[in-house]
Amino acid sequence: MKQILIIGAGFAGLWSALGAARLLDQHKRDDVLITVLAPQAELHIRPRFYEPDVHTMAAPLQALFDAVNVRFVKGSAYHIDQASREVAYRQPGGIEARLGYDRLIMACGSLLNRPALEGFDLHAFDVDKIESATRLEEHLKSLAARPDSPARNTVVVAGGGFTGIETATELPSRLRAILGDKVTPRIVVVDRGTKIGAALGDGIRPAIEQASAALGIEWVCGATVASVDAGGVLLDNGEHIAANTVVWTVGFKANPLTEQITGERDRQGRLHVDGQLKVIGNPDVYAAGDVAYAACDEVGNFAVMSCQHAIPLGRYAGNNAAAELIGVAPMTYSQPKYVTCLDLGAWGAVYTEGWERTVSPPTDKAEAKQLKQQINSVWIYPPAADRATALAAADPLIPVA
């Protein structure tokens, strides 16, 4: 029996499995085994980790995998042997084992860049993984037991990109719920850009500025964090901000497993893929999600590290890996429409279309907030553990944006 092995059970890994299962079902083939290798049979809803109640943001996948005849293997990949077409992994408890493949789909996601800053490992928090986001939540709750002080009531968010902005704008309401309405939290965003929201462009900036003003969020632009300690942060301009909480949101990189795959990589470590999402120059390996440097269209736009792109990338990669093994025509990945819906906390949200992020209907901040809530609570969750429903949802031609 031929084998498709998928590393990762995130958005790209889940939808790779469903995409492959859908094609095999259409052609009534039962001679290809689909295996997902991951530490847990759960989809961690990473786009929501800036919200409270992070421990609830994991969707179980075992019943879904069972419904579509996908085998799940619990473990963490650590070595890829391309010559023998095998992946070595560690099971819970440290036991080592290997899995073979005819086609491998790299869907192992991305990691937060963790800088070698003094005090970072001891004192900084992040919302990168469900475990670290839960650690931050527990820390925030513990602040209520500390004496009232400016440092206790201050959070520094390092990075003014999507994650930093969504984290910062959610924090005022989170801290008031913990510390009480009599406390006025101080949220400070430190960003190397020279303007508020510089990384997101001019079109979306007015909404970020308005939300920041309404929520009392301060921005320190043109600066970076030089060191972190228990009492706050030192900036590269010499300013010290007293804060008991520092949240790092700066920069992401592809899973280091990509370094074991023959192929060209971009500066974030993502593997260059062709139109069918096969790693260029590698006959047996596909890439999807945050590890794929994939062209979305014919005018020079490439997928970003987001579930908006990971979901269709997975659908196409799974479809094409299965198609190659059973001798049917592959599909060319195409996702020309790009949208953003940026959560801005209690102020609302802002919706944009196009790579220039032009604010578009719904332009009303309340309507955009409703859309964001629907995206976060419905659209990005896995389909029901029903075979027909799940396979129908895996059609690569279903629009995501």
What is the CB neighbour count within 10 angstroms for residue 296? 21
Cα separations in angstroms, 28 against 2, 32, 129, 317? 15, 11, 38, 19
Residue 382 CA to residue 45 CA, distance in Å, equals 10
For the chain, give the longest Cα–Cα distance: 68
Give me the residue label for tokens 């009531």: 153
**Is there a contact between 344 and 172 (Cβ–Cβ < 8 Å)?**
no
Helices marked H in 157-251 — which ranges? Answer: 162-179, 205-215
Q: How far apart are the first and last CA of the chain?
A: 36
Residue 250 CA to residue 165 CA, distance in Å, equals 11
pLDDT, block means (10 residues), the chain with 401 residues: 98 98 98 98 97 96 98 98 97 95 98 93 96 98 97 98 98 97 96 95 95 98 96 96 98 96 96 98 96 97 96 98 98 96 97 92 89 95 98 94 62
Residue 247 CA to residue 167 CA, distance in Å, equals 9
pTM: 0.96
pLDDT on residue 399: 84
Sort strands 96-100 and 86-90 into parallel, antiparallel or unpaired.
Answer: antiparallel
pLDDT on residue 401: 62
User: Comparing C-alpha atoms, which of 295, 245, 275 is closest to residue 141?
Assistant: 245
Strand partners, 196: none
